[in-house]
Amino acid sequence: MIDLHMHTTYSDGELIPAELIRRAKVAGYKAMAITDHADASNISFIIESVRKLTDGYAHFFDMEVLAGVELTHVPPALLADFVQMARDAGAQIVVVHGETIVEPVVQGTNLAAIEARVDVLAHPGLITEVEVKLASEFGVALEITTRRGHSYANGHVAALARRFGAKLVIDNDAHAPGDLMSAELRQKVAYGAGLTLEEYRQTEANAWEIVQRCRVRR
C-alpha cells in the first residue's frame, strides 16, 4: 500500500510524524507522504520541520516517506503562487484540498490546482469533465479517498477518470491511528467506487510512480 495524503500534529492530525510513520509501517504501508494542511502562513514551517525527520533519519524507517503539504482553502487565484511557494520551501509533494461536497471549498479550486500541476488533487468532489480531461493531460492524479464524507463522490471521480484516462490514487487522508486502513478494506473501498481489480492495482502503480518522481525533489 502507498498513501500520499496523511496529517500529523503539524495541522489537525493526532500523531507526531515519527509515530505516524511507525504505525503506517506496521499497518503494511510501503510508502507514504506527510501532507499537513497549509497556506502561506505555515508552508515553510511544516516542510522544514518534517524534513528534519525524513532527511536526517529516513534510513531508520525502512519505507519511503515524502514531505509535503496539502494546500487547504486557498483562494483559487493564489493557488499557483502557493504551489510554487511550497516547492521552493522544499516540498517533495504538493496536494490540494479539492472541492469535497462536505466542506465549503471555493468553486474553481479544482481547476486552479490542476492548472498549477499539483501532484494530487484530493477528494475533488463533483469534478467536471473539463477538469478531468485537463488532469489527464497534465498528469495530475485524482484521489479516491477512504475518508468518511469526502468519499461520497468517489464513484463520480472514478467514472470520469476511467472515461478520460486520468490517473487515480487511493488515500486515507489519515488524521488518527484508526484511519490507517488495512489492505483488505482499502480494496473494498476501491470496489465500492466502481473500480475493477486491475484498476485498483493501477492506483498503487500510479502512487508509486509519484513517489519515485517526487523523492528526487530537493
Cell of 138: 497534465
Q: Could you tell me which residues come within 8 angstroms of residue 180 by beta carbon, excluding any fewer than 6 positions away?
A: 23, 24, 27, 29, 172, 174
pLDDT, average across residues 89-93: 97
Three-state DSSP class for 87? helix
Name residue, grid cell 503494511: 28
- Confidence band for 76, pLDDT divided at 50, 70 and 90: very high
Half-sphere exposure of 160 (CA within 13 A, CB side): 21
Q: What is the mean pLDDT of the chain?
A: 97
pLDDT at 216: 84
Average pLDDT of the segment spanning 133-161: 98
Count of structural domains within the chain: 1
Burial-class residue 41 by CB neighbours within 10 Å (0-12, 13-18, 19+): exposed
What's the pTM? 0.97
Domain residues for 74? 2-214
Summarize pLDDT for 29-64 with one digit per residue, the tens.
Answer: 999 999 999 999 999 999 999 999 999 888 899 999
Looking at residue 218, what is its pLDDT? 67
pLDDT, tens only, 164-175:
999 999 999 999
95-145 pLDDT per residue, tens: 999 999 999 999 999 999 999 999 999 999 999 999 999 999 999 999 999
CATH of the domain at 163: 3.20.20.140
